[in-house]
Structure 1
Amino acid sequence: MPLSPPAPQRAQQLLAQLERYGSRENGQLAVGRRLLQDHPDLPLTGFAISRSICPEPGRPLHSLILRVGEHDTDGITAWARALGTEPVIDGARYRLDTALDGIGIWASATIPEDRYDMDAAVFVLTADDVSFTLRGLLVTEFGEDGDLLFIGHPPVREVLATTSAYYRDTCGQRLSAFDGHVLADSITRGWGRFVAYPTRTEWQIRSASEDTPGALPVTWMYAQDGHTQDLGFDRCPACRRPSRGLDYHSETGQRVHVCPSPACRHQWPFTDAPLPSPIPVGTEYRQDHRAALATC
């Protein structure tokens, strides 16, 4: 039994899928039909569409994303060459980035770990690889809970000072301990290897022993174990209770103060937001880095 339907049936299925989402007016449907007609033997499991809100000069407004296998780098190469270009190779990732009849054509696939030289991908981080530098330390955010990763084993007081500055200047919050703990309890030290997989900008950290080639000292600050407060301060105009609480109005979506008193819970406009604290000299922030964590 064949693993996929014959080419004509496959093309009809993919076109029907695209017609549910694509627009005849912007040309995506016509380009999809042309790709299926001109290249029926190339790997393709589906389409996705995208529209750029603010495209860069010379970049298409509308695009088609070709879905090939997650690890089918040969398929990406075949599509690129069929469309008169070459794949863009960044580490283990192969990307198709071209245009046809004014429609962007995108696709990507990644060499699986068991076929990639992970040892050769180990590297030493620089300031360009982390979220920011502060007090001479390389620091990056990881996860979605506000945790921080420091490169090295800096003194506890430096870790706490940097964490406090990050929450104050970047998040507009004050971080404090709770449940009888101190923030220093949230600091963990170890060793890890940084691997440029799938790419250098999406690196992974893998736990390692101190004597592992390429291992670096690292310090984790599990700030999610702390309690955060917004830096804003005001008094409730209804009951005069001091309040640091901020929220979003359920209907307007505007930022508002909210009274902490259960008997009041009054909300009033947030019009006197304090200016953010100055960022210390020597601090550089980079918001485009995304760190992926892995353990072994």
Structure 2
Amino acid sequence: MPITPPAPERAQQLLAQLERYGSRENGQLAVGRRLLRDHPGLPLTGFAISNSVCPEPGRPLHSLILRVGEHDTDAITAWARALGTEPVIDGARYQLDTALDGIGIWASATISEATYAMDQAVFAPTVDDVSFTHRGLLVTEFGEDGDLLIVGHPPVRDVLAVTSFYYRHTCGQRLRAFDGHVLADSITRRWGRFAAYPTRTEWQFRSVPMDTPGALPVTWMYAQEGDTQDLGNPAHCPACGRSSRGLDSDRVTGQRVHVCPSPACQHQWPVDDTPSPAAAEHHQDRAALATR
């Protein structure tokens, strides 16, 4: 991409912007002035500042972020070399990561997807590329609704086991189906490609026909089609004695309540309530009957 130097008046605007947000005490403002003075021909659309409370060892406490075009990787290269270093290239992402006068200098740009060699970025995921493994399956949380993406077309029972494991151990919840459906109805099998774009750690997934080069079988579990229920410590229903871990909130009071899992009971009782002696005796009688 062509590198267009900012006009002098633009440099003054950038400096004024930095003066509004930068601190004179930590050196970010002085470094910003120096960059504009020493490198007036390099592209720059704005500044941002960053301050770390607990920086990693050897990292600056205060940093100055240089804003360039989203896909202007040439600008990252130019700034890096002007500051005596080279850009850090990870897949399609170019980063500037250096320091000047004790102030961190950071910038980033990504090669656009339209111009990146996406076919060459296709890969087969391993355990290092997914959120977790269960029953030998590679599983990744996908999106913001708790959906799961599983590599392969495993049996339905394994998909349900993975889903139960994830919601119980990661979310502390139970996932149930809506309106009389079963969770298996939320399972969809497809084919797709994993591409290391912009980087291997921030990969993309695209559904493709089965005969597409690099296509892999995948299974989706659409959690938004289910109903989640919080889980707590086991407790016995005061009404029927059945063990329950299900929690909910009372619609009137908002108080946390246990929920009996028995469809014939569905009793709710406050989480902090102690079962009455009558309820305890009722539970003991049911337990005794169950052992006969």
> Normalization by structure 1: what TM-score?
0.79
Q: Which residue of 1 aligns with 2:22?
A: 22
Q: Which residue of 1 aligns with 2:177?
A: 177
Query: What runs of 5+ residues in structure 2 fail to find an aligned partner?
Result: 237-243, 258-270, 273-292
Structure 2 distance, partners of 1:159, 1:230, is 21
Q: 1:78 is aligned with what amino acid?
A: A
Question: Could you say which structure has the higher helix fraction?
Answer: 2
The structural deviation recorded for 1:266 is 4.2
Q: Which residue of 1 aligns with 2:254?
A: 265
| Pair 68,24 (structure 1): closer, same or farther in 2 beyond 3 Å | same
Structure 1 distance, partners of 2:25, 2:224, is 48
Say whether residues 1:111 and 2:100 are aligned partners.
no
| Pair 230,10 (structure 1): closer, same or farther in 2 beyond 3 Å | same
The structural deviation recorded for 1:50 is 1.0
The answer to whether the 8 A contact 2:232-2:247 is kept is yes
The structural deviation recorded for 1:7 is 3.0
The structural deviation recorded for 1:232 is 1.9
The structural deviation recorded for 1:178 is 1.4
Q: 2:118 aligns to what SS in structure 1?
A: coil
Structure 2 distance, partners of 1:78, 1:57, is 27
Q: Which residue of 2 aligns with 1:293?
A: none
Q: Which residue of 2 aligns with 1:139?
A: 139
| Pair 22,190 (structure 1): closer, same or farther in 2 beyond 3 Å | same
Using CA pairs below 8 Å that are at least 6 residues apart, which structure has the higher relative contact order? Answer: 1
The answer to whether the 8 A contact 2:32-2:64 is kept is yes
Q: 2:80 aligns to what SS in structure 1?
A: helix
Q: Which residue of 2 aligns with 1:204?
A: 204
Which runs of structure 2 are paired with 1:82-101 in the superposition (5 Å)?
Answer: 82-101=82-101
The structural deviation recorded for 1:5 is 9.5
State how many pairs are aligned: 248
| Pair 148,55 (structure 1): closer, same or farther in 2 beyond 3 Å | same
Structure 2 distance, partners of 1:267, 1:221, is 29
Which runs of structure 2 are paired with 1:8-19 in the superposition (5 Å)?
Answer: 8-19=8-19
Which runs of structure 2 are paired with 1:12-91 in the superposition (5 Å)?
Answer: 12-91=12-91
The structural deviation recorded for 1:136 is 0.3
Structure 2 distance, partners of 1:261, 1:145, is 23
Which runs of structure 2 are paired with 1:145-224 in the superposition (5 Å)?
Answer: 145-224=145-224
Q: RMSD across aligned C-alpha pairs, in angstroms? A: 2.2
Structure 1 distance, partners of 2:92, 2:8, is 33
Structure 1 distance, partners of 2:43, 2:77, is 11
The structural deviation recorded for 1:138 is 0.1
| Pair 139,128 (structure 1): closer, same or farther in 2 beyond 3 Å | same
| Pair 142,6 (structure 1): closer, same or farther in 2 beyond 3 Å | closer
The structural deviation recorded for 1:265 is 3.2
The answer to whether the 8 A contact 2:5-2:40 is kept is no
Say whether residues 1:244 and 2:233 are aligned partners.
no
Q: 2:104 is aligned with what amino acid?
A: G
Q: Which residue of 2 aligns with 1:277?
A: none
Structure 2 distance, partners of 1:54, 1:184, is 46
Q: 2:120 aligns to what SS in structure 1?
A: coil
Structure 2 distance, partners of 1:266, 1:115, is 55
- Determine which structure has more spread, i.e. the larger CA radius of gyration: 2
The structural deviation recorded for 1:52 is 1.7
The answer to whether the 8 A contact 2:99-2:105 is kept is yes
The structural deviation recorded for 1:205 is 0.8
Structure 2 distance, partners of 1:71, 1:64, is 20
Structure 1 distance, partners of 2:6, 2:67, is 18
Q: 1:121 is aligned with what amino acid?
A: A
> Normalization by structure 2: what TM-score?
0.80
Structure 2 distance, partners of 1:53, 1:42, is 31
Q: 1:265 is aligned with what amino acid?
A: G
The structural deviation recorded for 1:53 is 2.7
Structure 2 distance, partners of 1:137, 1:6, is 52
